[in-house]
Amino acid sequence: MKKFAIAIHAGAETVKRKEVSKAQEKAYRKGIEEALRTGNAILKKGGSAVEAVVAAIESMENNEHFNAGRGGSLNQFGEADFDAAIMDGRNLNSGSVGSVRYVKNPIKLALEIMQHCKHAFLAGTGAEEFALRQGLELKEPSYFVTEEKLKAWHESVLEEQIAGHDTVGAVALDQQGNLAAGTSTGGLMNRMKGRVSDSPIIGAGTYANNPYCAVSCTGEGDIIMRGSIAHEVYAQVKYGGEQLQAAAEKAITMHAKFLKGDMGLVSLNGEAEIAFAFNTNLMKRGYSTDGQKPVIALWDDEEV
């Protein structure tokens, strides 16, 4: 059996440890494990990296403890809308969706765009109409709004703050040697209506190219897109000759003078090498190689 692997993140941010309860920690670890096992099941059977990435992200979109799909952050008007992308490292095909509401699983819409649309990126009403035509599952707005996120929205509005930049993402290597990357997010809390994150922008929050690596980013999207962080990892590997971990760390730090804020990423190459890099104290992350028991970590002092 050839090598296969999957690695995921579920957000990076700088927080005080006491702000994350033991119950929340437990829910995060359980959700990460479920997503890894879901993706692993596909890879083990010989399924594609794209299928594994979509399945793992769908699992996290359905989990209200993560900022994607149900439980996503709310915009300035208390509405949930989403961005997502998928990229196939085998042929550089991609599908992206921005500012979409009602679609239960935005990552599945990104996949439909990649496979069945003449365009690579659809946003807003047009993306929703395409989802309807493709028969994707839709939900009423209240499905996405959880009590926890509604409370956080009220607090952010009262304090006139834009907060919370968790995102979920996955990278996978299948038994055919192909890579894929995907990212999905509910965006910033109390963001402007119409704001699009880095997640659906190819080269910013998501990138995959078979000979080099697959990358999914998380953190403050406005600075990640300005730094083209996902593509920067690829560039460090391809043109800089860097090993994957060094490339990932350089991508996070190289524009530190101009790009100030929380950033994190997960990357994977064709040798099943996995790299996590982040400048925060909390980075929800995990991986599994060759179907082995998932390795999961949350804090910066946890080894993976």
Feature table: binding site for substrate: 195-198, 218-221
Q: Which of 167, 185, 206, 289 is catalytic?
A: 167
Q: What's the rounded Cα separation, in Å, for the pair 111 and 92? A: 13
Q: What's the rounded Cα separation, in Å, for the pair 157 and 95? A: 33
Active site residue 167: yes
**Rg from Cα positions in the chain:** 17
Yes or no: say if 198 and 225 are a contact pair by the CB < 8 Å rule: yes
Strands across the sheet containing 93-100:
121-123, 93-100, 82-88, 179-185, 168-173, 5-13, 282-289, 295-299
Residue positions in the annotated binding site? 195-198, 218-221
Q: What's the rounded Cα separation, in Å, for the pair 106 and 67? A: 12
Question: How far, in Å, are 14, 50, 57, 276 from residue 222 at the CA level?
Answer: 16, 26, 22, 20
Q: How many CB atoms lie within 10 A of CB 151?
A: 10
Encoded tokens for 44: 């083990």
Q: What's the rounded Cα separation, in Å, for the pair 77 and 190? A: 8
User: Catalytic residue numbers?
Assistant: 167
